[in-house]
Amino acid sequence: MSRPFPLIDFHSHILPAADHGSSGLTESLKQLEIVRNFGVDTIVATPHFYPNSIALEDFLGLVASSAERLTEHRESSPRICLGAEILYCNGLHRMEGLDALCIRGTNVLLLELPMDEWSDELFYTVERLTKSFTVVLAHIDRYILCEEDGIHSLLSAGAFAQINGYALHSFSKRRKLKPILESDRVVALGSDLHGADRKTYEQFLTAEKKLGDTFETIMRRSAALLENATAL
């Protein structure tokens, strides 16, 4: 199905053995085949970065070698941009070299928030991050039922939001997300693909039916964020 706008998956774990999303090259190539068959134009590879578990330079080395291996063997489509999904930790805004985790060629950081209760320090840290980066909060659907006020507060403070497509199957989540979807803060949708299951990927794209015209609006916002992104 051809669309008058680019189809962008902003959140995925498709780099071979860079995290638990793909066990190796064979699985990554299967993932990309699925993505290509669904007509996705651009996918952002966002391997998990856990700041308390791995040094930044080790992570960057791992990602670079994984990306290189994928590049050697993959087909030309889809376009792959390279970023990271950075798990929040206190003081993250002071981490040296954080800009190396942006989607390459942009100042966009994909930030994963914790599932436990959000502290005042978290709000302070995210606000500080928004002064230097375009902060996109990963899968806000995951927190919308328990931290609804917190999400609204972070978006008001300057952060943007990414939603996982499959979450839109949930009526209660859709209802809570509605005011945010009607604002200009949702800039990305993602599959958060781990593994190579076609059905999981299909769920990501049912977001198009659930969102109607808003789907295109969000895709165009993603395209704007990735305008200067470098591809693998």
Q: Contact positions toward Fe ion, by CB under 5 A?
A: 85, 192
Which residue from 9, 18, 61 is spatially nearest to 37, judged by alpha carbons? 9
- Check: CB of residue 16 under 8 Å from CB of residue 70: yes
Residue 78: asked if its preceding bond is cis (omega within 30°), the reply is yes
Q: For residues 1 and 87, which CB has a smaller minimum distance to Fe ion in the complex?
A: 87
Residues 27, 33: Cα–Cα separation, whole Å: 10
Q: For residues 20 and 73, which CB has a smaller minimum distance to Fe ion in the complex?
A: 20
CB of residue 88 vs Fe ion: minimum separation in angstroms? 13
Residues 86, 159: Cα–Cα separation, whole Å: 14
CB of residue 14 vs Fe ion: minimum separation in angstroms? 11
Q: For residues 147 and 192, which CB has a smaller minimum distance to Fe ion in the complex?
A: 192
76, amino acid identity: S
Q: For residues 2 and 52, which CB has a smaller minimum distance to Fe ion in the complex?
A: 52
CB of residue 60 vs Fe ion: minimum separation in angstroms? 18
The string of DSSP letters for 118-148 reads: PPHHHHHHHHHHHHHSEEEETTGGGTTTTSH
Which residue number places its CB atom closest to Fe ion? 192
CB of residue 93 vs Fe ion: minimum separation in angstroms? 21
